[in-house]
Structure 1
């Protein structure tokens, strides 16, 4: 399911070359600003510091001249700008260190800025996928794995469906042309799941086809 990605990648985003018969259909990264905005709660943090500045202004407005009251509020706005700038750096690094890969057999997610991990999600172990689309065309495709693939929310963050902590759903976050990629995944998963697979039950037994 996962692979610690310390060796040189033979194909960007994959720890090893795809096996025979597997074709890469799409690769991409999150849109860094959209990822920062959504996963790092930039609107809420910006609003918090604006609230602090307004609260400070209201608290001192009757005690000092207008200009000094404004000056007393400005440090909160500067602090907020510094915090948001730091979050933008984090979001940019997260996006640049990420590579999502869609093949005809699986979804692979190379994630993690400090500790890089590659998640492999075969279509045969995916129960469902959902698309959340934005007006600008970017979107998030959340993958609901089978119970055989327990995943940790912290390990996958921010590449997860928000607030699905107990039943973690890894997600292709904030990707361009999300609707096109979702359709590609649906078609590939349908073809893969409907394909008979050969399994061997006992030593020496003949292989049988299983759906």
Structure 2
């Protein structure tokens, strides 16, 4: 038995209320999550540079133990980061309904975060060439969400005002457009001009960025 066996619907803490329906569910691509959130390529490059430096120094004194230890430490470290990314992606489910976005996240301490569509002021899009991407969500009011509680499903460096983020989502263009249309349907315009007063993202903007 796992901590998710008591979920009536995978990714949701309870059954949906009458009239609410699921429009999309998805999980991060663990390889893209490893690169974007756990910076595996950067860490691998760092240890690669250290290994080259250790090799250059070893040629002068004839001792290659430092080279082996540095390379081994890099391999183990990057492998552990990939394992964390895989576990994070495996335990994460993003759910879009016609009323809210639900983020089921957490490896050791699972939690579900409910984000009603009316509280979403805007949705940003960061697409990658591999078809995955991130969707940071700007919320209205003063969200009581901690950065560490959200990470790695939080927009980087937004610590004082954390922003939930759907990370490494496959098929990001289609998902972004669907979320935009759903927010528009739940919060029909006209929208105010200032970002702080906006209640929903402009769907055409998201579609254009995702293309």
Q: Give the TM-score category using the shorter length.
A: 0.7 to 0.9
- Mapped contact 2:101–2:114 kept (Cα < 8 A): yes
- Mapped contact 2:58–2:67 kept (Cα < 8 A): no
* Cα distance in 2 for residues equivalent to 1:10 and 1:33: 29
1:182 aligns with 2:180: no
* Cα distance in 1 for residues equivalent to 2:143 and 2:158: 15
- Which residue of 89, 109, 124 maps to 1:130? 124
Higher deviation after alignment, 171-180 or 145-154: 145-154
Equivalent residue, structure 2, for 1:87: 81
* Cα distance in 1 for residues equivalent to 2:72 and 2:158: 34
Offset of residue 8 of structure 1:
1.1
Larger Rg: 1
- Mapped contact 2:133–2:169 kept (Cα < 8 A): yes
Instruction: Output one character per residue of 1:124-143: Cα deviation in whole Å (capped at 9) or x when no partner.
Output: 01111101001111111111
- Mapped contact 1:107–1:120 kept (Cα < 8 A): yes
RMSD, aligned α-carbons? 1.7
Offset of residue 91 of structure 1:
0.8
- Which residue of 124, 135, 141 maps to 1:141? 135
Instruction: Output one character per residue of 1:153-176: Cα deviation in whole Å (capped at 9) or x when no partner.
Output: 100000111111112110110011
Q: What is the count of residue pairs matched by the alignment?
A: 187
**TM superposition outliers: structure 1 runs of 4+ over 4 Å:** none
- Mapped contact 1:32–1:91 kept (Cα < 8 A): yes
Offset of residue 148 of structure 1:
3.6
TM-score (normalised: structure 2): 0.83
1:165 aligns with 2:165: no
- Mapped contact 1:125–1:148 kept (Cα < 8 A): no
- Which residue of 17, 20, 33 maps to 2:31? 33
- Which residue of 57, 79, 101 maps to 2:95? 101
Please, which runs of 5 or more residues in structure 1 have no aligned partner?
196-211
Equivalent residue, structure 1, for 2:68: 74
Equivalent residue, structure 2, for 1:20: 18
Higher strand share: 1
- Mapped contact 2:127–2:172 kept (Cα < 8 A): yes
